[in-house]
Structure 1
Amino acid sequence: MPSLETEKTRALRADARRNRDRVLRTAQRLFAERGLAVSLDEIARHAGVGPGTVHRHFPTKEALYLAVVIDQLEQLVAEAKALAAADDPEALFTQLTRMTAMGAENATVKSALMAAEFDLRTVAADVAAELTDQVAHLLARAQAAGAVRADVTVDEVMALVAGTFAAIRHAGAESDPERSAHLARLVLDGLRVRG
């Protein structure tokens, strides 16, 4: 039977996890809405936690926005796994649309990561590789079903996603979900088999 002290430690850990998650969600929203000028103290206030809580989990703003991006990649991996469980050759397009939408919505964070010279394939190698593996699985299934061109590789698909971010940014469509989705469809339609 667990001791009272063990139960208290578990409760504290669960509370710390909830606080960290609350800070991540709040930071994601505020970075997307207002850019990276938002201070850690302001994020704490909006998350309903003390500044010390934010600083304990994320000692710098760079650490926080990197954590936001890694968290989003982990969400995309989970979504790709769920899509892989369904027998739908269009699942690849669903996943790529989600990826481009998330990227467009968080262009500020991506720009900051580039400016800070963070390469996600290096600093978040495991989750970046896992996302690529999930996309590769969806791609292979779509190709086997004849929904996607046979001459496309996963590296090319990932390059198209990155190119879509650039197109959305070039068009100034980051804050216009309909327009950014339209641009993404234009790019991703090039993957489809033409009859």
Structure 2
Amino acid sequence: MSSQPPDPDPATATRRDRGLRADARRNRERVLRTAQRLFATEGLGVSLDEIARRAGVGPGTVHRHFPAKEELYLAVAIDMLEGLIAEAETLAATGDPEAVFTLLARMVAAGAENEAVKSALAAAEFDLRTAAPDVAADLTRHVADLLDRAHAAGTVRDDVTADEVMALVAGAFAAIRHAGAETDQGRSARIAQLILDGLRPR
């Protein structure tokens, strides 16, 4: 598997996607959602043609948007991060001091659901923080903002930093993988809760 995607700049890809016709954007979104679901439930071996069939589009549509499977892996991962950013923005608008826990739990769940994709990117020597630095930084900034709110409200330990929180999320992924709970939402949520409870004030 190549370590370089045909278009390594996600920002360029995003600008290109925004220039698509409305129907082409909808087809791309349908392919992304279908690919994410199939990768999570059936593994990475599912073919682009099968993804096209399940998405209800022609094979040419998938191959036009994602000429290589690595591009689809990367797009699925970036789409996941962008979805989390949207959730973070919604949570920020609520003013809830517990919102950081809601977001972190969702981050862990999304990471567990996309573990196969993340592993494939790692095997291909992709790091999302390098491949999509703006998106990754935006998510970290939202986590930091919600953490600041939680600090002010006293709902989280006053000595914990955003970097430590992000490290705990990564640790939760590893714990879920170690327990073989990637496809068991109940078990993965319990593991995440045990880890996140460590952020509560003593």
* TM-score for both structures, normalised by structure 1: 0.92
Q: In structure 2, what is the equivalent of residue 86 of structure 1?
A: 94
Q: Residues 97-176 of structure 1: matches in 2 within 5 Å?
A: 97-176=105-184
Alignment gaps of 5+ in structure 1 = 1-11
Q: In structure 1, what is the equivalent of residue 80 of structure 2?
A: 72
Q: In structure 2, what is the equivalent of residue 6 of structure 1?
A: none
Number of matched pairs: 183
Alpha-carbon distance, 1:67 to partner: 0.1
- 2:139 counterpart SS class: helix
Alignment gaps of 5+ in structure 2 = 1-19
- 2:21 counterpart SS class: helix
Q: In structure 1, what is the equivalent of residue 63 of structure 2?
A: 55
Is 2:53 the counterpart of 1:45? Answer: yes
Partners of 1:162 and 1:88 in 2: how far apart?
A: 24
Partners of 1:126 and 1:55 in 2: how far apart?
A: 26
Alpha-carbon distance, 1:107 to partner: 1.1
Alpha-carbon distance, 1:114 to partner: 1.1
One-letter identity of the residue aligned with 1:127: V
Partners of 1:38 and 1:183 in 2: how far apart?
A: 29
Alpha-carbon distance, 1:109 to partner: 0.9
What value does the CA root-mean-square deviation take over the aligned residues? 0.8
Alpha-carbon distance, 1:48 to partner: 0.9
Partners of 2:169 and 2:75 in 1: how far apart?
A: 21
1:74-124 CA distance string (max 9 Å, x none): 000000011001111110000000000111111111111111111100101
* TM-score for both structures, normalised by structure 2: 0.89
Is 2:28 the counterpart of 1:20? Answer: yes
Q: In structure 1, what is the equivalent of residue 194 of structure 2?
A: 186
Structure 1 runs of 4+ off > 4 angstroms?
Answer: none
One-letter identity of the residue aligned with 1:88: D
Q: In structure 1, what is the equivalent of residue 44 of structure 2?
A: 36
Alpha-carbon distance, 1:72 to partner: 0.8
Alpha-carbon distance, 1:133 to partner: 0.3
Alpha-carbon distance, 1:65 to partner: 1.0
Alpha-carbon distance, 1:175 to partner: 1.0
Identity across matched positions, percent: 77
